[in-house]
Structure 1
């Protein structure tokens, strides 16, 4: 069984009935759980309304670093993230590639998210791009010892992955690993211990080969898993079992199937 550890179900260009079909398709392929990740606190309520009827969908709460127009106060983030359905804080982090001009506000928001995660004892979901030094330094400075998390849709260096794992973080791999241009990432994935690995789609973006050009969806996490299993020279069942175990270890509030 597989888990899509990071998707944006509320961002899929689908009706409610089509979303139900999309999730049913994923379940038929062996996907047992979905983590629907927030990019804006302002949109959290509507996101939750979209998915709350599905027992196998968990949610996070946070402000994506590229959505700082939706920045909120610490108190608002804490209040929203205290919702009992929220299993993680984020996605948060730093993106200097697409938005270098908002670095200061990104850092302030990131620190707020770390502190909320510390207070609520919920794991962090981190987006980082072209901000390796600041991402790691802020985590080292502000993260509580027992606050864990994941660097999602990882495309950074093996050195950064190792540093994050030393801080207790997991590394999540998306369909990017299947892209022709991802030779360096593939070498990183080979070196990441299976005990620290998660898989995701980041739907509706980044559809893996052979679905490039289509809207991504949670069912395509199977192609990500198949590719990584072959890359690491292990069975698909082993990859699926371990990444599923890792997910429930990290996101301990996510409901396991009965």
Structure 2
């Protein structure tokens, strides 16, 4: 049994064959997944999928790239959704310095507001970090995010960034990049994360693992991520499946 902790089946790349993608995931042993919403439209679709399928859960949050569009009404809406029985986390949220649509100070403000909400509703948070690792960690520390913990989604830091995240009760989630030939950091991270803090994800349709790199990713491919981690940690795929699934169930309170 595998638990894909981060999928975007709620976006248009899956509009043509969403049901078939879900069936392929189940056939590959993916028995649970979290569909992550990151703006108004994708949150609505994440909620609909979670209500439609008993093995699909939702996370709701506001992506840093679109922080400039975030309103106080959106924050109230997220708080309302947070009480839904199928919502297991807030996010994705964080900082993204690759795209420049939203200024850094606006991103940080929206990030802080969502952390405060998570503490209020007592849900873990899913962190998006792109080219902003030090600032993400500093802001999480300043806001005492250890009170809720959560996931460093598709972990984008170096080995030295793992401990500060663990110290704040975060789990380290690895995806397709751990299979990429020249991606050294994810491979080193995969070797050092404590077994009880390790998660797997696809972030589909993005970041498809080898040998599908460059094509559309899907939840069934999370097995390739788990296999690579098993190789790197010199253990069995069964052990990785069992441990990462137990970790996800514990974190999400399922």
Q: For 1:123-163, what per-residue CA distance to the aligned partner results, in whole angstroms no more than 9, with x for missing partners?
A: 00001122223212221222355311010001211121110
Task: Tell me by how many angstroms 1:101 deviates.
Answer: 5.7
Q: 2:157–2:185: 8 Å Cα contact kept in structure 1?
A: no
Tell whether 2:39 aligns with 1:40.
yes
- 1:67 is matched with 66
Q: How many pairs does the alignment contain? A: 252
Q: 1:41–1:61: 8 Å Cα contact kept in structure 2?
A: no
TM-score, structure 1 normalization: 0.92
Q: 2:95–2:130: 8 Å Cα contact kept in structure 1?
A: yes
TM-score, structure 2 normalization: 0.93
Instruction: Assess, with a 3 A threshold, how the Cα gap between structure 1 residues 44 and 195 changes in structure 2: closer, same or farther.
Output: same
Tell whether 2:3 aligns with 1:7.
no
Instruction: Assess, with a 3 A threshold, how the Cα gap between structure 1 residues 63 and 119 changes in structure 2: closer, same or farther.
Output: same
Q: For 1:183-205, what per-residue CA distance to the aligned partner results, in whole angstroms no more than 9, with x for missing partners?
A: 22211211111211100000011
Q: 2:174–2:186: 8 Å Cα contact kept in structure 1?
A: no
SS in 1 for 2:53: coil
Instruction: Assess, with a 3 A threshold, how the Cα gap between structure 1 residues 42 and 12 changes in structure 2: closer, same or farther.
Output: closer
- 1:21 is matched with 20
- 1:188 is matched with 189
Q: 1:41–1:62: 8 Å Cα contact kept in structure 2?
A: no
SS in 1 for 2:52: coil
Task: Tell me by how many angstroms 1:217 deviates.
Answer: 0.3
Tell whether 2:248 aligns with 1:228.
no
Once residues 227 and 144 of structure 1 are traced to their aligned partners in structure 2, the CA distance between those partners, rounded to angstroms, is 30
Instruction: Assess, with a 3 A threshold, how the Cα gap between structure 1 residues 42 and 215 changes in structure 2: closer, same or farther.
Output: closer
Instruction: Assess, with a 3 A threshold, how the Cα gap between structure 1 residues 179 and 54 changes in structure 2: closer, same or farther.
Output: same
Output aligned runs, 1:80-119, within 5 Å.
80-99=81-100, 102-119=103-120
SS in 2 for 1:67: helix
Instruction: Assess, with a 3 A threshold, how the Cα gap between structure 1 residues 90 and 19 changes in structure 2: closer, same or farther.
Output: same
Instruction: Assess, with a 3 A threshold, how the Cα gap between structure 1 residues 247 and 83 changes in structure 2: closer, same or farther.
Output: same
- 1:58 is matched with 57
Q: 1:12–1:203: 8 Å Cα contact kept in structure 2?
A: no
SS in 2 for 1:36: strand
What residue ranges of structure 1 are gaps of 5+ in the alignment?
none
- 1:138 is matched with 139
Once residues 52 and 23 of structure 1 are traced to their aligned partners in structure 2, the CA distance between those partners, rounded to angstroms, is 15
